Amino acid sequence: MSYKPITLLLFAHLLLKILAIHAKVSSIIVFGDSSVDSGNNNHIPTTLKSNFRPYGRDFNGGQPTGRFSNGRIATDFISDAFWLKPTVPAYLDPAYNISDFVTGVCFASAGTGYDNDTSNVLSVIPLWKELEYFKEYQKRLKGYIGEEKAKNVLNEALYLISVGTNDFLENYYAYPRRSSEFSVENYQYFLAGIARDFVLELFQLGARKISLGGLPPMGCLPLERARNVMYGSKCIEEYNNVAKSFNEKLKELVMKMNKEHEGIRLVLSNSYDILSEIIQKPQSFGFDNAITACCATGMFEMGYMCNIFNPFTCTDAHAYVFWDSFHPTEKTNAIVAQHAVKNSLVEFYYN
């Protein structure tokens, strides 16, 4: 069955709203990379930014915010689904203060990874520093609404973690250090160990409802297809297999931590299957193109290469699965968020 782009987007939004009636989540707290960064990189000295047009051209009247998309990202839609704000503000954005962060805050930084070496590639915020910002936020929140109320907000918040793609594509497969130190499987275990420690520290800081994001079919990103031009610009299945294997390790981690730590409610939000389905059957979701991106030539460009001066950018992003060579369009983000809400996050609606 085929859907018109706008109709599908509105349907996904309406479904999330209907489900949200019974939601019991106080706040959305976000950690990760460019898949969920709502603007933190705007305020650090890095070249990896998106606070210029055409980024954000479909966001609130055409406002570039630092989100790597034409509009909202998945965490914005999830926040909306839980009857909170329609967008999750970036912690480092001076336009916001602690009153804006009571119901949602984002600590994510585009280009980061589990591995500290990954964040060093483009001089972005490492995951450990995101956690330090969260600790600072906790203190500010307690000072603003009081110790008891802050504890309740933090206990009832939904913590979303989306990170890992850069560890492979921008680190392991791009530079020799980690690939000479680890086999790809051992590197997966290395990253899973960091994920475990990160979740455990969040839990010790009061987090109870935690979603750990899986890797997407990263071999099908337009950038990777473009690099595979000698083989017909097909998906790089080696990368997809690595993503699936790592997701299995995260699944085992989630099961283990739920057994070992009383009170934790850890889920795996795995977007791999829904994104694969969209990429393989784009017309079924109202898309025309799942191979190249909307911005510029759609093959290599992201960040500063995806700019308003490029004459090749598409006129209708709703027809595309990908916005730039690495990131989905707003419409894709809405579908991915809907899938997460209906599956991994559904238990948080009722208790």
For residue range 272-312, what is the model confidence (pLDDT) as tens digits? 999 999 999 999 999 999 999 999 999 999 999 999 999 99
- Which segments of the chain have a pLDDT < 70? 1-23, 351
Listed in order, strand segments (DSSP E) in the chain are 28-32, 104-106, 158-162, 209-213, 265-269
Angle, helices 5-19 vs 74-81, to 10°: value is: 40
Listed in order, strand segments (DSSP E) in 192-241 are 209-213
- Would you say 224 and 293 are in contact if contact means Cβ atoms under 8 Å apart? no
- Residue 199 CA to residue 237 CA, distance in Å, equals 29
Taking the CA atoms of 62, 107, 318 and 52 in sequence, report the sign of the dihedral they define. positive
- Would you say 71 and 11 are in contact if contact means Cβ atoms under 8 Å apart? no
- Summarised one tens digit per residue, pLDDT across range 196-232 is 999 999 999 999 999 999 999 999 999 999 999 888 8
Q: What are phi and psi of 274, to 5 degrees?
A: -65, -40
**Residue-level pLDDT at 2:** 43
Identify the bridge partners of residue 322 per DSSP, sorted by sequence position: 328
Q: What residues are annotated to the active site?
A: 34, 324, 327
Closest residue by Cα to residue 160 from 255, 253, 25: 25
**Residue-level pLDDT at 230:** 86
Number of helical H runs and strand E runs in the chain? 12, 5
- Residue 184 CA to residue 192 CA, distance in Å, equals 12
Name the burial class of residue 287, with classes exposed (0-12), middle (13-18) and buried (19+) by CB atoms within 10 angstroms of its CB.
buried
**Residue-level pLDDT at 7:** 58
- The two tokens of residue 45 are 């000295």
- Residue 337 CA to residue 213 CA, distance in Å, equals 12
Taking CA atoms, 185 is separated from 91, 154, 339, in Å, by 34, 35, 28
**Residue-level pLDDT at 349:** 83
User: Which pTM value belongs to this model?
Assistant: 0.93
- Residue 121 CA to residue 141 CA, distance in Å, equals 32
